[in-house]
Amino acid sequence: MGHYTSPIRAQEVTGGLTYHDVTESVLKPLESKPNKLWLMATGLSMVALGIGLFCLGYTLWVGIGTWGLNKTIGWAFDITNFVFWVGIGHAGTLISAILLLFRQTWRNSINRSAEAMTIFAVICAAVFPVIHMGRPWLGAFWVLPLPNTRGPLWVNFNSPLLWDVFAISTYFSVSLVFWYLGLVPDFATVRDRAKGKIAKLAYGGLALGWNGSAKTWYRFELVSLILAGLATPLVLSVHTIVSFDFATSVIPGWHTTIFPPYFVAGAIFSGFGMVQTLLVVMRKVYKLEHMITLQHMEAMAYIILLTGSLVGIAYTTEFFIAWYSGNHFESFAFVNRAFGPYWWSYWIMMSCNVFTPQLYWFKKIRQSMLATFILSIFVNIGMWFERFVIIVTSLHRDYLPSSWAMYTPTWIEFGILLGTFGIFFTFFFLFAKFFPVVNMFEVKTLIKVPHSPQEEYAEQHAEVPIG
Partner 1 sequence: MGKHEEYWNGLEQYNADSSFQKTQKDEFQEDLPMEDSLSEESLGLKSNRRDFLKIFGFGLTAAALTACVEKPVRKAVPYVNKPENVTPGRAEWYATTASIGAGIGILVKSREGRPIKVEGNRMHKLNKGGCDAIVEASLLNLYDSNRLKVSRGPSSKMMKWGAVDNEIMSKLESLGSGAKILLVGHSDSGLASKRLVQKFKAKYPGTKSITYDPVSNYALAKVHSDGGEYMQVPGYHFEKAKVIVGLDADFLGSWISPTEYTKGYAKGRKVSERNPTMSRHIHFEPRMSLTGSNADLRVPMKPAQLMAAIAGIHEGLIGGAITWKGPGNAVQRAVRELRKAGSGNSLVVCGVNDVHAQTVVKAINEILGNYGSTIDMDRPSYQVQGNDEHMVNFVAELSHADAVIFLDEANPVYDFREGTEVAKVLPKVGLSVAFVSKENETSKLCQYGLAQTHWLEEWGDAQPRKGYFGIRQPLVRPLYDSRSWQDTLMVWSGDNRRFYDLIREVWENEIYPRGAKQATFRSFWNDTVRDGFFEADVHGSAHATEGAHHAAQVPAEHAEDEEAAAAPDHASAGSPLPDPATSRAALLATYNKNKDTSEFVIYLSTTMGTGRYANNPWLQEYPDPITKVTWDNYICVPYVNAKQEGWSDGDIATLKVGGKSVDLPIIVQPGQAANTYAIKVGYGRGDIAGKVAKGVGKNVYPMVGVENGSFSYVSQGASVTPKGENIRMAKTQTFIGYELMSDGEGGDGKRKEIENRVGDYIVKETTLSAYRKSRVAGNKRPSGHHMLSLWNIHDKKGHHWAMAIDLNACTGCGSCIVSCNVENNIATVGREEVANRREMHWLRIDRYYKGDPADQEGKLEMVHQPMMCQQCDNAPCETVCPVLATVHSDEGLNQQVYNRCIGTRYCANNCPYKVRRFNWFSYYWNDDFKDVNVAQHDKIGRLVLNPDVTVRARGVMEKCSFCVQRIQDMKLKAKVEGRKLNDEDMKTACGQSCPADAVVFGDLNDTSSEIYKLYHNKRGYHALEDVKTLPSVLYLTKVRNRGEDESENPTT
Binding site for partner 1 (CB under 8 A): 62-65, 68-72, 74-75, 132-136, 138-139, 142-143, 153-156, 158-162, 165, 245, 248-251, 328-329, 332, 339, 341, 395, 397-406
CB of 318 to partner 1, least distance (A): 19
C-alpha closest to that of 110 among 442, 463, 423: 442
CB of 189 to partner 1, least distance (A): 45
Cα–Cα distance, 36 to 415 (Å, whole number): 26
CB of 359 to partner 1, least distance (A): 34
CA distances from 151 to 52, 148, 156, 158 (A): 38, 7, 15, 20
CB of 172 to partner 1, least distance (A): 18
When the beta carbons of 165 and 265 are compared against partner 1, the nearer one is: 165
CB of 246 to partner 1, least distance (A): 9
Kindly report the number of other CB atoms within 10 A of residue 23's CB atom. Answer: 21
CB of 88 to partner 1, least distance (A): 23
Cα–Cα distance, 180 to 182 (Å, whole number): 5
Q: What is the largest CA-CA distance in the chain?
A: 92
When the beta carbons of 73 and 268 are compared against partner 1, the nearer one is: 73
Which phi and psi (to 5°) does residue 30 adopt?
Answer: -70, -35
When the beta carbons of 3 and 328 are compared against partner 1, the nearer one is: 328
CB of 128 to partner 1, least distance (A): 11
User: What would the DSSP string read from start to end of 422-436?
Assistant: HHHHHHHHHHHHHS-
3-class state of residue 133 by DSSP: coil
Kindly report the number of other CB atoms within 10 A of residue 150's CB atom. Answer: 9
When the beta carbons of 210 and 244 are compared against partner 1, the nearer one is: 244
Question: What burial letters (b/e) apply to 425-443, b meaning 16+ CB within 10 Å?
Answer: bbbbbebbbbbbbbbbbbb
When the beta carbons of 40 and 138 are compared against partner 1, the nearer one is: 138
44 CB burial (10 A radius; 0-12, 13-18, 19+)? middle
When the beta carbons of 55 and 311 are compared against partner 1, the nearer one is: 55
When the beta carbons of 138 and 222 are compared against partner 1, the nearer one is: 138
Kindly report the number of other CB atoms within 10 A of residue 195's CB atom. Answer: 7
When the beta carbons of 63 and 209 are compared against partner 1, the nearer one is: 63
When the beta carbons of 136 and 261 are compared against partner 1, the nearer one is: 136
- Output the CA angle 226-232-237, nearest 5 degrees: 135
CB of 141 to partner 1, least distance (A): 10
CB of 135 to partner 1, least distance (A): 4
75 and 391 in contact (C-beta within 8 Å)? Answer: yes
- The DSSP 8-state label assigned to residue 466 in this structure reads P
